């Protein structure tokens, strides 16, 4: 059995890589507008599971656990900020507004704004999915980064990041956003799909997770037998609305209408 590396040898290895590592750390700090103290958190947050089999991979965990934590932190902080800023909103409106701010598409846009994909460790094939417009990898990484910031600097640091990158100071709820908050996306999708001659959307329950007192439902919606959206929620109705919203935006954009 080989003897473990001494601290001196480990330090030597680190110093050999230090220049490149420090440069990337500095780039990441500037991109995110934060100060990194424990690099291990961010290394894990930026490691897609496709990188685990790569020879250059320096860790054993992908960012999936960090994504789980980041999702919870992000939802908590966005809810807190909405509660503090917008006294005129009721519970239902705050819930819908939060879903507009932290859904996959919105987070992918935030990730793109800070060029997060430049820092991800992943395989070439995974990188190509981002280039083709698939948003899951990059939005999940954004949530993982939120977790890294929370673990590295606490809730205060994570909230500062959310305020800066997700809900900046100039963030306002305009008339169009209020329309979106009050829109019934199942009805809107039905109207759009029937108007295109595609028939009525069909909703399928994909899975149920969690204990009986805290279930999460995942639903897909098919339009003309093609999946256009998928959503999750604490009730089937909420999951269907989330799926319908995604499908409505996809179908609308597909035809380039307003």
Euclidean distance between CA atoms 241 and 225, whole angstroms? 18
In terms of domains, do 91 and 141 share one?
yes
Q: pLDDT tens per residue, the chain (258 residues)? A: 444 444 344 333 333 333 334 347 889 999 999 999 999 999 999 998 888 876 655 557 889 999 999 999 999 999 999 998 888 888 877 887 888 888 888 898 999 999 998 899 888 777 777 666 678 888 999 999 999 999 999 999 999 999 999 987 666 666 556 555 556 788 889 999 999 999 999 999 999 988 877 788 899 999 999 999 998 887 888 889 889 988 988 888 775 444
Query: Active-site residue 140, yes or no?
Result: no
How far CA 73 is from CA of 40, 70, 77, 129, in Å, comes to 19, 5, 6, 27
Q: Give the pTM.
A: 0.62
Residues 122, 138 within the same domain: yes
Domain with residue 199: its CATH number is 3.30.160.20
Does 6 reside within a domain?
no
Per the structure, how many domains does the chain have?
2
Q: Of 67, 135, 140, 143, which one is the catalytic site residue?
A: 143
> Residue 101 belongs to what domain range?
22-177
- Based on the fold, state whether residues 168 and 42 are members of the same structural domain: yes
Domain boundary among 177, 194, 213: 177
> Is 71 an annotated catalytic residue?
yes
Q: Does any domain span residue 123?
A: yes
118 in the same domain as 217 = no
Q: On the CB side of 133, how many CA atoms lie within 13 Å of its CA? A: 1
Candidate list 44, 67, 71, 240, residue with the active-site label: 71
């Amino acid at each position: 059995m080989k003897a473990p590396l001494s601290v001196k040898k480990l330090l030597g290895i680190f110093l050999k890589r230090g220049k490149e590592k420090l440069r990337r750390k500095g780039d990441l700090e500037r991109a995110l507008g934060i100060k990194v103290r424990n690099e291990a958190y961010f290394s894990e947050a930026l490691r897609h599971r496709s990188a685990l089999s790569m020879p250059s991979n320096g860790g054993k965990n992908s960012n999936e656990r960090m994504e789980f934590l980041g999702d919870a932190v992000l939802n908590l902080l966005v809810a807190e900020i909405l509660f503090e800023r917008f006294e005129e909103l009721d519970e239902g409106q705050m819930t819908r507004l939060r879903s507009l701010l932290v859904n996959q598409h919105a987070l992918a846009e935030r990730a793109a704004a800070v060029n997060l994909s430049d820092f991800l460790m992943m395989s070439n094939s995974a990188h190509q999915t981002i280039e083709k417009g698939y948003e899951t990898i990059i939005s999940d990484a954004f949530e993982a980064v939120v977790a890294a910031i929370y673990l590295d600097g606490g809730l205060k640091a994570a909230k500062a990041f959310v305020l800066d990158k997700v809900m900046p100071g100039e963030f306002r709820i305009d008339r169009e956003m209020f329309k979106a908050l009050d829109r019934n996306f199942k009805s809107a999708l039905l109207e759009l799909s029937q108007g295109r001659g595609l028939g009525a959307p069909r909703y399928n329950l994909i899975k149920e997770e969690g204990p009986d007192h805290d279930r999460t439902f995942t639903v897909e919606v098919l339009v003309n037998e093609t999946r256009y959206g998928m959503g999750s929620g604490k009730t089937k109705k909420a999951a269907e609305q989330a799926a319908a919203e995604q499908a409505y935006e996809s179908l609308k954009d597909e035809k380039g209408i307003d």
